Amino acid sequence: MAKMFFPQYARGRDGIELVVGETILQHVRRIGGVEIDSECGGQGTCGKDVVRIETGAEYLTPATDVESRFLEDGQLKANRRLACQAKVAKDAERILVFIPDFGRYTILTECAETHTALNPCVKRRDDRVLYHTGEDLGPYEGSMFGLAVDVGTTTLAMQVVDLETGKNVGNPIAGKNPQIAYGNDVISRIGYASGHEGGLRELQRAVTGGVNQSLRELEERLGAAPGSTTNSIYDVVAVGNSTMRSILFGQNIRDLGVIPFEPSSKTALTRRASGLGLATHPLGMAYGAPFIGGHAGADCLADIIATGLYQSDEIEMIIDVGTNGEVVIGNKDRIMTASCAAGGAYEGYQIRCGVGAIEGAITEVKIEDGQAKYKTLGDKAPLGVCGSGVIDLLAELLKSKIMNEKARIARDYRITGSLSISQDDINQLIVAKAGLRTDQDLLIRYYGTTLDHVSRIYLAGAFANYMNVDNAMVIGLLPQADKSKFVRFGNGALAGAREMLISQQKRRDAEQLVGLIEHTKPNEVEGQEFQYVVAENMYF
């Protein structure tokens, strides 16, 4: 049988059957567990799904016009192909493909410490393990674990917890979301699920495969026998934006891609974890936290649970910046939320010099005498600029008067010999920051208060936690507030998932909050004026 092999990956070493007419990217997607960066979802516009054909290049179609363009620009070497463009032209004995490592992500797994009383949905009674509904999940075999999962668009973050003690089992675990092979944003995933037969199931297999791989790695680090930890996981709590959590549970996501961009159902879900494809105890359960509305999903709700904003006497805010951005304002009496597409540009996508938080990413920038001084993750050679570095870069360009208050630069600014930022890149960044800042300003106004009366501003998510707050205020991504009000909260979504894992009360709180939170869509509230409000926030 003719096969395509990806020898760098365990799942790829045995190969996958060749299908004439399919691209290399389609073979990657079918095999699962093979990581490739396809930011544009296979449209041929990003040029990041570069592969090296070790053997069998003659059995592929010739370079396309798209590949020729990248060759001319110097972004694609002569002995490389784009996985989304190179198709199998005829049967071959074997095609051997190497995928250049596009970097190990630094994924935020740290969570603020909480002191919630231990009262999980899974408990031991004598020698049996029981679910809170009374269902018998089988005999007790020495341990009883739970799994909290934050399903991000780009990354997966997890924590295994001992449900008898409430203590963490090993350190939090994290990895890239394998769905990155289908595009870097939720719109790409929705489009794939809607436009391909079996697409939703394919995306579900990709994310569950990523979770299972991380669990196997945890067992290796713990020195545990394969399956000994996973077979003791009786309960899973998963959060994520509306698209990501829906995919994990195999729910239709088509409605999230069309007006009014609402999920078909916002309620919490409880399913058999093994039925979703998760490697847990065969009778283990999986709980999907409810959605707030629109793209403000279970991750935003988890932020609210973890920070305790919903129990506060004072008015507080949460700003969670990721591929999607969520803003929350409120207290125990009233809560309002809004969401927007915020983080694509700031997570390294959509701009020429951008990369994710990988080794070699520039994280800090200072401009002295017109020259950029910088630090990189892992002290590696610079590969690009990630979110925190982009904030610094914009602020430094502004403070150095290389960029004016209208966000204009006279010419491309060179950061290193090979990395530069262009006017087009800056335009992408100011649009992204303007949307998030507009939501902040309008929510404060809708709430009927002022920034002076907001006692605390939680910064949740990796991007918000690592950025320089002063520089974020300089460029207007964050409001001009007393710096003491800002609280870096770590991975609030994972923290909230863990809370719901160890506490039945927190699950009840989450389900009750959904009906009380006012989810706003400022673009609809403001109508035609919205574009002018956003435009005002683009500049400095």
Co-location of 133 and 68 in the same domain: no
273 occurs within a structural domain: yes
- The model's pLDDT over 73-94, given as tens digits with 9 standing for 90+, comes to 666 777 789 999 999 998 877 8
Of 58-62, 345-349, 458-462, least confident by mean pLDDT is 345-349
Q: Examine the domain organization and report whether 92 and 126 are in the same domain.
A: no
Residue at 506 is within a domain? no
388-433 residue pLDDT tens: 899 999 999 999 999 999 999 999 999 999 899 999 999 989 988 8
Write out the two tokens for 492: 């609030």
Whether 306 is in a domain gets the answer no
pLDDT-above-70 percentage for the chain: 95
The pLDDT of residue 484: 94
Q: What is the dihedral of CA 338, 189, 32, 276, to 10 degrees?
A: 60
CA torsion sign for 168, 170, 171, 173 is negative
Q: Which of 267, 296, 325 is the last residue of a domain?
A: 296
Query: What is the model's pLDDT at position 378?
Result: 81
Instruction: Mark whether 291 and 395 lie in a shared domain.
Output: no
Q: Which of 405, 421, 437 is the last residue in one of the domains?
A: 421
Considering the domain architecture, whether residues 155 and 189 belong to the same structural domain is answered as yes
- Is position 170 within any domain? yes
Please choose, from the candidates 255, 477, 470, the residue with its C-alpha nearest in 3D space to the C-alpha of residue 345: 477
- As a whole number of angstroms, the distance between CA 389 and CA 383 comes to 12
Q: Does residue 409 contact residue 401 with C-beta atoms inside 8 Å?
A: no
Joined tokens for residue 354: 């951008």
pLDDT of residue 93: 78
Q: How far is CA 439 from CA 63, 150, 304, in A?
A: 45, 24, 17
205 and 173 in one domain?
Answer: yes
pLDDT of residue 290: 97
pLDDT the model gives residue 41: 78
Residue 136 placed within a domain? yes
- 511: in domain: no
Contacts of 117 (CB under 8 A, 6+ apart): 503, 505
Query: Distance between CA 374 and CA 392 in Å, rounded?
Result: 10
**Given CA atoms 169, 171, 175, 177 in this order, what sign does their dihedral have?**
positive
pLDDT score for 110: 62
Between 190 and 344, the higher pLDDT residue: 190
CATH number for the domain harbouring residue 72: 3.10.20.30
Strands 335-341 and 324-330: antiparallel
Q: Which residues lie below 8 Å from residue 196, measured CB to CB, with a gap of 6+?
A: 202
Q: Specify whether 138 is located in the same domain as 66.
A: no
Over residues 161-165, the mean pLDDT reads: 97
Whose tokens are 């709700």? That residue is 301
Q: Does residue 113 fall inside a structural domain?
A: no
Assess contact for 259 and 308: CB atoms under 8 A: no
Domain range for residue 397? 361-421
- Given a cut of 70, whether residue 102 has pLDDT beyond it is no
Average pLDDT estimate for 147-164: 94
When pLDDT is averaged across residues 135-144 and rounded to a whole number, the result is 96
495-531: pLDDT as tens digits: 999 999 999 999 999 999 999 999 999 999 999 899 8
Using the predicted structure, report yes or no on whether residue 107 has a pLDDT greater than 60.
no
Number of domains in the chain: 3
Q: How confident is the model at residue 360 (pLDDT cuts 50, 70, 90)?
A: confident
* pLDDT at residue 238 in the model: 98
Residue 308 has a pLDDT of 96
Determine the pLDDT at residue 8: 74
Let me know whether 368 and 236 are in one domain: no
Domain edge (last residue) among 296, 322, 351? 296
In angstroms, the CA 327 to CA 305 distance is 14
227 with 78, same domain: the answer is no
pLDDT interval class at 101 (50, 70, 90):
low
Residue that has been written with the tokens 């359960």 in this structure: 285
Task: Answer whether 304's CB lies under 8 Å from 493's CB.
Answer: no
Residue 346's region, left for phi above 0, alpha for psi from -120 to 50, else beta, is alpha
Length of the chain measured in residues: 540
Tokens at residue 228, please?
A: 């000994």
- Torsion region of 352: left, alpha or beta (phi above 0 gives left; psi -120 to 50 gives alpha): alpha
Q: What confidence tens digit (pLDDT) does each residue in 261-304 have?
A: 899 899 999 999 999 999 999 999 999 999 999 989 999 999 99
The H or E element containing residue 117 is none
Mark 364-401 as b/e (b = at least 16 C-beta within 10 Å).
bbebeeeebebebbeeeebbbbbbbbbbbbbbbbbebe
pLDDT at residue 228, rounded to an integer = 87
Task: Tell me the pLDDT tens digit for each residue of 207-246.
Answer: 999 999 999 999 998 988 888 899 999 999 999 999 999 9
Query: pLDDT value at position 103?
Result: 53
- The pLDDT of residue 356 is 75
Rounded-to-integer distance, Cα 243 and Cα 246, Å: 5
Q: Which residues pair with 82 in a beta bridge?
A: 50
Q: Band of the pLDDT at 167, cuts 50, 70, 90?
A: very high
Residues 289 and 503 sit within 8 Å (Cβ to Cβ): no
Q: How many angstroms separate the CA atoms of 43 and 59, rounded?
A: 22
Q: Does residue 128 share a domain with residue 75?
A: no
For residue 52, being part of any structural domain is answered with yes
Same domain, 130 and 93: no
- Whole-angstrom CA distances from 475 to 116, 361, 433 are 38, 21, 9
> For 21-27, what is the mean pLDDT?
92
Banded pLDDT at 48 (limits 50, 70, 90): confident
Closest listed residue to residue 354, CA positions, set 76, 19, 46? 46
Q: Are residues 179 and 129 in the same domain?
A: yes
CATH number assigned to the domain comprising residue 215: 3.30.420.480
Handedness of CA 171, 177, 178, 180 (dihedral sign): negative
Same domain, 289 and 381: no
The secondary structure of 269-320, three-state, reads EEEEHHHHCCCCCCCCEEEECCCCECCECHHHHHHHHHHCHHHCCCEEEEEE
